[in-house]
Amino acid sequence: MNRLLLSYKNKVLGCRDMDKEIERLNKQLAHLEKSYKAGVVKKSEFLKGKKKVERKIKQANEKVQDRETKTAAITKIINKPKSKKNNTKEKKPDVIINNKQSDKTHNNKSKKRYDDEKSSIWSYLLLLLVIVVVLFFVYKYTETLAPTTDTITMYEYSNFFCSHCDDLQDTLKEIKKDYGVKIKIYHRQFPNDAIHPLSTLAAEASECANDQNKFIEYHNLLFVGNRNNKITEKTDLIELAEMSEVEDIETFKKCLENHEKLEEIQADIDEGEKAGVKATPTLVINGEVLQGAQSYNVIASVINKHLG
């Protein structure tokens, strides 16, 4: 029984991940609202995303409430006080009774003791059954919330002044939308100053924005600005930071002017070249290199192959 109680406690502690999931979803909702206000996402996408996140939060809260109800029930059962045995010694009779009466009394006491022991065994068996049933339902409801381990890792080597990299963004959004938790997409810097003299500096600026949790906003505005030929000098990169609602502009400027992120950019370049990246855009999907702005179907076929 001690093993079952220990297993139950471990299950309950594992369920605390749901509280972290609710906190993550609330941050995601807040981030989505900021992106909408900044004009990064369209109203229709914002409403659709907001509805989806709110539905997940509601489901998670229901799971937490259900878990708390079951936890309270099993805790009440576990903490139920045990019945006290009657340790009072029977008084010896003051008179001598005959052997026949003594045997009858002894048999009655033995029968009563047997009934008490039998009742106690059934009580423990019933408690054990309740614990097993509760553990079953705890496992059943927490199992569906466990993250899948069958995931694909994709690295996108990109240059903010590469028009083909810009074209690839919508395709990657569709890939992420369709595959969800089955794929993790990471941006990697691969600037080329031969294409644009601000290429490396723009990559540094995006990493400076990332220090203040504004990478996605800055990333999107950089592509839009380059599409409209509005990124021509260093001051334009600072203006984009203000548009991205970077909270501490002075810290951003200092980061950019001192080239604090240049080593990180070079590390991305070295990593890409080692993996076989020669130009942008290039995707590295579970180690497989896919060059150029490929179509959705081509990228999906590679992902499906690795998912098996």
* Residue from 212, 172, 199 nearest 279 by CA: 199
pLDDT of residue 188: 97
The model carries a pTM of: 0.52
Tokens linked to 166: 């810009």
In a domain, residue 106? The reply is: no
Helix and strand element counts for the chain (H, E): 11, 4
The predicted structure's pLDDT at residue 84: 52
Q: Report if residue 138 sits inside a domain.
A: yes
CA 217 to chain centre: 22
163 and 196 in a single domain? The answer is yes
Residues of the domain holding 6: 2-80+118-143
Amino acid (1-letter code) at residue 300: A
- In terms of DSSP bridges, do strands 183-189 and 152-158 run parallel, antiparallel, or are they unpaired? parallel
Question: Are 138 and 160 in a shared domain?
Answer: no
Q: Are residues 58 and 205 in the same domain?
A: no
Question: For residue 197, is it left (φ>0), alpha (ψ between -120 and 50) or beta?
Answer: alpha
Same domain assignment for residues 72 and 19: yes
- So what's the pLDDT on residue 110? 65
> Residue 131 has what pLDDT?
92
Residue 41 has a pLDDT of 67
**Same domain assignment for residues 137 and 193:** no
State whether 254 and 128 are in the same domain.
no
pLDDT of residue 9: 53
In a domain, 139, yes or no: yes
Q: What is the pLDDT of residues 241-282, one digit of tens each?
A: 999 999 999 999 999 999 999 999 999 999 999 999 999 999
Task: Give the residue from 221, 160, 226 showing the smallest Cα distance to 187.
Answer: 160
Q: Check residue 125 and give its pLDDT.
A: 85
Amino acid making up residue 281? P
Residue 99, in any domain of the structure: no
What is the crossing angle of helices 43-78 and 99-143, to 10°? 170
- Separation CA 10–CA 38 (nearest Å): 44
Residues 61, 185: one domain?
no
**Burial bucket for residue 30 (CB in 10 Å: 0-12, 13-18, 19+):** exposed
First to last CA, the chain: 42
Position 172 scores a pLDDT of 96
Q: Are both 189 and 225 inside the same structural domain?
A: yes
Which portions of the chain are predicted below pLDDT 70?
A: 1-16, 41, 80-116, 118, 139-149
Total structural domains within the chain? 2
Predicted pLDDT of residue 97: 45
